[in-house]
Amino acid sequence: MVEDGFAASLAQRHLVLEGVYNGGMSKRPSVVILGAGFGGLKAAKRLRKAPVDIVLIDRMNHHLFQPLLYQVATATLSPADIAYPVRSALSGQKNTEVRMAEITGIDKVHKRVLYQGGSIEYDFLVAALGSRQSYFGHPEWESFATGLKDLSMATSIRQKILRSFELAEMEPNEQKRREEMTFILVGGGPTGVEMAGAISELATRVIARDFRKIDPKQTRVILMEGGPRLLASFPESLSARAERDLKKLGVEVRTGCVVEKVDAQGVVAKGERIQCPNVFWTAGVTAAPVGKWLGLPVDRSGRVFVDEFLHPQGHPEIFVLGDCASAPDEKGQPLPGLAPVAMQQGDYAGRQILAKLKDKPAKPFRYFDKGNMATIGRSKAVVALGQLRFTGLFAWVTWLAVHLFFLIGFRNRLLVLLQWAWAYIRFQSGARLILPERRTPDSPRPSA
């Protein structure tokens, strides 16, 4: 409702506005960046002193530190701890304008990006729109298995988890109480592993003393993975370690377990039905529809094929990067959808645009492997860095340090550090909020 009103009024305004922008357009090259994620923001920042006019478009007003989203979903952190206003991140950068709008298409012939209510011409385009949840051809599962890609999804999962314990506390039927206290995670990648560990710790440690009728330690957390092992992108030894660590926390790990159905009653997997109102989707993602807009070939995750300069075929003025690009590594294998990849690619795209402005020759993109890590719980993590493998406490401290370091903004870092310290020392977590029903409907905005 609100969003519709907002989008609609934005739309109307923008159709009018377009003329103004074009009328006053300067002659400097126009760089349009799509997405204020890790890639887009890095690209913008690299161009901060460049003689170009940058417009960064995102449907949100904030940059989101996605790797910690699961901590919002499991009530350790607040949304604002892992989000930073895009405008603030770029407020000192005078060549850059931010527009909050939903992108709807790209007209590659006329070099124009279309967004809800307007369009803008580009000389260079950086497409870094990331990915969204994918339900393997079963979009109807979405309403029963919330994914974890933005802050609303995270707070929705938080509400569901906390409410389930409230319901269980009032539930006289033993069977139903157990169902209420069962949580299924579909997908054993880093997000699934981190969520499973965090829900388990929330139940056994954080809220253990809060209830009178139920024993939160009877909480069941089931992690289902279709493939043969957890953390498929990690070395096998670390997958095994993660599984062992999770089992120590009481998580039921089911590998080779393909989900056949998700509905209001729960999940059917390997022929078995598990009754459970709390199913969360941590499995596949699909790229933003950049390939569709550009009319270019994509891989099966919807990622645009790009060359070693991050250009889609025949478009040296376009860079596609991060989760929405299939970019080759040195062996020709596609690079994984990780934050460090997107950040390095964003920085590279910025540098390439600078080089092109100076007619310097292009150097191919090379990913500098920053390793791969996942946290499992208190003092438990796995880290793969080149040939190195860390586990246990040392891996966990590494994970903490790296995530804090890359978290945008000093303020957020400090706050997150404090909340982690608090959670660690006191087994308390800070954001256990079930938000009230909206009692005041938003006023419809007068159109135009």
Residue 309 binding a copy of itself, by CB under 8 A: no
Residues 169-188 that bind a copy of itself (CB under 8 A): 169-173, 176
- Of 254, 272, 261, 234, the C-alpha closest to 371 is 234
Where in the sequence numbering do the catalytic residues fall?
194
Residues 27-66 that bind a copy of itself (CB under 8 A): 59-62
Q: Which of 31, 162, 325, 374 forms a contact with a copy of itself (CB under 8 A)?
A: 162
- Of 57, 112, 50, 67, the C-alpha closest to 87 is 57
Residue 430 binding a copy of itself, by CB under 8 A: yes
Rounded to whole angstroms, the Cα distance separating 294 from 306 reads: 12
CB of 63 to a copy of itself, least distance (A): 11
CB of 343 to a copy of itself, least distance (A): 22
| Packing angle of the helix pair 392-406, 410-426 (nearest 10 deg) | 150
Other C-beta atoms lying within 10 Å of the C-beta of residue 214: 21
Closest CB to a copy of itself among residues 146, 352: 146
Q: Which of 28, 48, 112, 163 forms a contact with a copy of itself (CB under 8 A)?
A: 163
CB of 108 to a copy of itself, least distance (A): 24
CA dihedral defined by 376, 243, 38, 115, rounded to 10 degrees?
-110
Residues 259-278 that bind a copy of itself (CB under 8 A): 264-265, 277
CB of 374 to a copy of itself, least distance (A): 23
Under a CB-based contact definition with an 8 Å cutoff, are residues 296 and 312 in contact?
yes
User: 65: alpha, beta or left, given left = phi > 0 and alpha = psi -120 to 50?
Assistant: beta
User: DSSP labels for 183-246?
Assistant: EEEE--SHHHHHHHHHHHHIIIIISTTS-SSS-GGG-EEEEE-SSSSSSTTS-HHHHHHHHHHH
Residue 20 binding a copy of itself, by CB under 8 A: yes
Phi and psi at 357, nearest 5°, equal -65, -30
Residues 205-224 that bind a copy of itself (CB under 8 A): 207, 209-213
Q: 138 Cβ partners below 8 Å, 6+ apart?
A: 262
Residues 112-131 that bind a copy of itself (CB under 8 A): 117-118
Rounded to whole angstroms, the Cα distance separating 403 from 381 reads: 13
Residues 75-104 that bind a copy of itself (CB under 8 A): 78-81, 83, 85, 87-88, 91-92, 97-101
Residues 129-158 that bind a copy of itself (CB under 8 A): 132-133, 142-147, 150-153, 155-156
Residue 25 binding a copy of itself, by CB under 8 A: no
Closest CB to a copy of itself among residues 42, 99: 99
CB of 417 to a copy of itself, least distance (A): 11
CB of 157 to a copy of itself, least distance (A): 9
Phi and psi at 351, nearest 5°, equal -65, -40
CB of 346 to a copy of itself, least distance (A): 21
CB of 236 to a copy of itself, least distance (A): 33
* Helix residue ranges, H only, 59-187: 69-73, 86-89, 151-169, 174-180
Residue 442 binding a copy of itself, by CB under 8 A: yes
Retrieve residue 133's tokens: 């949840």
Tell me the site size for a copy of itself, rule CB under 8 A.
94
Rounded to whole angstroms, the Cα distance separating 311 from 79 reads: 34
Cα three-residue angle 404-40-9, rounded to 5 degrees:
110
Closest CB to a copy of itself among residues 272, 330: 272
Which residue's entry shows tokens 């299924």?
A: 184
Residue 443 binding a copy of itself, by CB under 8 A: yes
Residue 355 binding a copy of itself, by CB under 8 A: no
Sheet containing 318-320: give its strands across: 96-100, 53-58, 30-34, 124-127, 318-320
Stretch that binds a copy of itself, among 28-36, 190-198, 363-371, 429-437 (CB under 8 A): 429-437
Residues 409-428 that bind a copy of itself (CB under 8 A): 411-412, 414-415, 418-419, 422, 426, 428
